[in-house]
Structure 1
Amino acid sequence: MTDLKSLTDAIQSPALKAVFRHWLDVRGARTMPAWKDIDATVIGKYLPLVWAWRFDRAQGTFIGRLAGEEILAVLGKEIRGRPLEQCFPANAASVVLARYKAVIDGPQIMRTTGHVHMKTGRHGIGERIVLPLSEDGITGDGVLGATEYRLHMGDARTLGAAIDHHHEDITNYPLS
């Protein structure tokens, strides 16, 4: 775990940097912003890479809110209104659920690089950020994320040389 300044420095993708800056701007003095604070017009040019889930405490899972067109292309299905388990292969769903739950419970921000889609059965490299959301600014109730990826290793150079193309690196950044 490390601090938010080091996260700002670590993010390589300009799109992910813009989404993160917006999240920071709208959270203000709170630990986390609410879903209603996210302004699609501010991050509009990056919406194809953006996705969001709300946490349903009664069901103990995340329900899809939004997935941009590039995310839908990787998942192969719409997530809006669907439980996370219906959107990922069974072996990946438990991993994704645990990671997103850790983000809202921390609360913390998660950044991954490398084989960011390896667990879903798709292969490629990329960078992802997972940002917690909270209606009351205190208790996490959803996640906002953005993923920039390349499904073909030949395109990997566009994401920068620092990304390790052979595994997934996960770094958590606490908010407390």
Structure 2
Amino acid sequence: MHLRPQIKDPNFLRLYDHWQSIRMERPVPLRADIDPTAIGRSLRYVWLYEYLDEEDTYRCRLAGEHIQEAFKRSMSGLLINQIYSPDIAALVRGYWDKMRNARAIVHGESISPAKDDNTYLRSQRLMLPLASEDGAIRHIFGMTRYDFDTFDFDISTGIDGSHLDIIPCADLED
């Protein structure tokens, strides 16, 4: 699959191209190979979570300024269930677990709850797995760009990932 033509935002392209360049012939690049200078101006939109085996959860290791602005707080060091409500944490965790287990990326648009009651944010997302030296996927590296124009949304219809595509890394051709 050729994902690159579907990515319109230059910040997302910069991150995707860097991830692809350090991936080389491996299914997933190593976390140690990430070069922040390669994505420079896009750093404000990036985030990094680490999977903790013993706790069976994810911890935020990095959240750019744009991400912190959306959540209205610093997120570094927090566990996923300290950042999101239980239902949203389960949804996010479901994607990340699939990414780790299937060695896949996620790309698309989604709806996220804002910190204000009954308002939501539209967002563009790119989520990329990173491997440790032992080959295990222990990090999810991503970029999110929020549209800060909040809107009302009927939560009873659910927040789902219908606009988020899960793409196995082995299927990427660009």
TM-score (norm: length of structure 2): 0.83
Out of 141, 146, 150, the position equivalent to 1:149 is 146
**Which structure has the highest strand share of the two?**
2
Gaps (5+ residues) in structure 1? 155-166
**CA shift in 2, pair 1:60/1:26, >3 Å:** same
* Change in CA separation of 1:87 and 1:21 when aligned onto 2, cut-off 3 Å: same
- Partner residue in 2 for 1:130: 127
| CA contact 2:114–2:121 (8 Å) conserved in 1 | no
Preserved CA contact (<8 Å) 2:71 2:114: no
Task: Give secondary structure in 1 for the equivalent of 2:136.
Answer: coil
Match of 2:15 in 1: 19
The aligned amino acid for 2:61 is R
Structure 1 residues 30, 170: CA separation in 2 closer, same or farther (over 3 Å shift)?
same
- Percent identity of equivalent pairs: 23
Distance 1:51 1:122 in 2: 23
Structure 2 unmatched ranges of 5 or more: 152-160
Please list the CA deviations of residues 87-109 of structure 1 after superposition, one character each: whole Å capped at 9, or x if unmatched. Answer: 11222111111111111111100
RMSD, matched Cα: 2.1
- Alignment partners' CA distance in 1, 2:127 and 2:24: 18
In the alignment, the residues of structure 2 paired with residue 152 and residue 24 of structure 1 have an alpha-carbon distance, to the nearest angstrom, of 32
Q: Does 1:169 align with 2:166?
A: no
Query: Residue deviations 1:12-53, cap 9 Å, x none?
Result: 211011101001111111111122211111111001100000
User: Separation in 2 of the partners of 1:25 and 1:137?
Assistant: 20
Given that 1:13 and 1:127 are in contact with CA atoms closer than 8 Å, whether structure 2 keeps it comes out as: no
What is the Cα deviation at residue 148 of structure 1? 1.4
Distance in 1, matches of 2:90 and 2:110, equals 20
Q: Name the counterpart of 1:164.
A: none
1:162 corresponds in structure 2 to: none
Cα shift at 1:112: 2.2
Find the counterpart in structure 1 of residue 80 from structure 2.
84
